[in-house]
Amino acid sequence: MTYIAKPKLHHPSLVKNKAGYTRRDYEGAVSTLCAGCGHDSISAAIIQACYELDILPHQVAKLSGIGCSSKAPTYFVGASHGFNTVHGRMPSVMTGANLANRDLIYMGVSGDGDSASIGLGQFAHIMRRGVNMTYIVMNNGVYGLTKGQFSATADKGSISKKGVANSDESIDLVSLAILMGATFVGRSFSGDKHQLVPLIKAAMAHKGAAFLDVVSPCVAFNNHAGSTKSYDYVREHNEALNRIDFIEGREEITTQYAPGTMTTVQQHDGSWLRLRKLGEEYDPADKIAAMKRVQEGLQAGEVVTGLLYVDPTPKDLHHHLNTVEAPLNTLSTPDLCPGPAALDKINASLR
């Protein structure tokens, strides 16, 4: 944290986006996390993504649970809605909020403790229900607030700051999310904004359950030799499968690339994902192949990053339930109480 607020002065070249805001306008309160925390970099990436997407801050709802990561929403997009919910229970609150008002942009921010330990059940269910949201886990593999015990995502065999090896199997949230039916799944690293920002933008444009697992080193308790979530380890073992460019708008991409170096995916809202291949052949639309590749990476000790799985035509919770288009708070009394005639009609249909 810092004692002074970030000065209001800014670079003279700062420009406003289509919504009329500069990038600085998407900032929140000054962070109280430890200096060097990866979470602050993820916050900065979210700020950048929201700025580039011309998002209106008051149309964003950011919900979080409890923990270091769950403090982070205070530090970005200050002029939006949101609160810390109950530990591990952010998914159910977000599901409810989404049902009540589908017009907002939902962002769930959680940590490895909040999502993989106390909230694992809720995590699984929000994915299988297909809530339209961007769910970001700031994953550092330790309980930072309680001084560095292993969390459920710590890799088996990784060494704690005290020098003890983790004997438990780790939970891979990416595999779980794909298995549970999330329709946009990616992994990235807080220290690589070039990869992270377009992933967040694409996830926010995705009309379904989008999940991003962002490895975010804990500088206080998990950035030492022997840790598998340190800056050095992630940089050395990062296997980026693709580089994604997120392109708004429905225009066909005409830029020419050498054949086999790029795949394009058009999302349901018309936005394009241009995936530049980095080495191996990888098709993120193939769910089975994605699960296989992620598991192989785990076996090999790689940190597989990039856009790992995407269903370009997802169906969300509202679609499954056939709910009303309008947010519930905009429904009038005649909508909600259509009168005895309508009731009679319903009753008649049930006879």
Which of 55, 219, 241, 308 forms a contact with other proteins (CB under 8 A)? 219
Provide the token pair at 182.
């999330």
Contact 220, 1 (CB under 8 A): no
**Is residue 11 part of the contact set for other proteins (CB under 8 A)?**
yes
Stretch that binds other proteins, among 57-65, 88-96, 166-174, 214-222 (CB under 8 A): 214-222
Q: Least distance to other proteins from the beta carbon of 4, Å?
A: 4
Helix, strand, coil share of the chain (percent; to 5): 35, 20, 45
Q: Least distance to other proteins from the beta carbon of 123, Å?
A: 27
Which of 156, 235, 292, 319 forms a contact with other proteins (CB under 8 A)? 235
Nearer to other proteins, 39 or 293 (CB): 39
User: Please, which of residues 175-194 interact with other proteins by CB under 8 A?
Assistant: 190-191, 193
User: Please, which of residues 23-52 interact with other proteins by CB under 8 A?
Assistant: 24, 31, 34-38, 40-41, 43-44
State how far the alpha carbon of 71 is from the alpha carbons of 74, 146, 220, in Å. Answer: 6, 15, 16
Q: Least distance to other proteins from the beta carbon of 280, Å?
A: 23
Contact 88, 140 (CB under 8 A): no
State how far the alpha carbon of 76 is from the alpha carbons of 194, 312, 326, in Å. Answer: 18, 28, 28
Query: How many chain residues are in contact with other proteins, going by CB under 8 A?
Result: 35
Spatial distance between the Cα atoms of 55 and 40, rounded to a whole number of angstroms = 20
Nearer to other proteins, 243 or 268 (CB): 243
Contact residues for 267 (Cβ-Cβ < 8 A; gap 6+)? 202, 205, 206, 207, 273, 310, 312
Name the site residues for other proteins (rule: CB under 8 A).
1-14, 24, 31, 34-38, 40-41, 43-44, 190-191, 193, 217, 219-220, 223, 231-232, 235
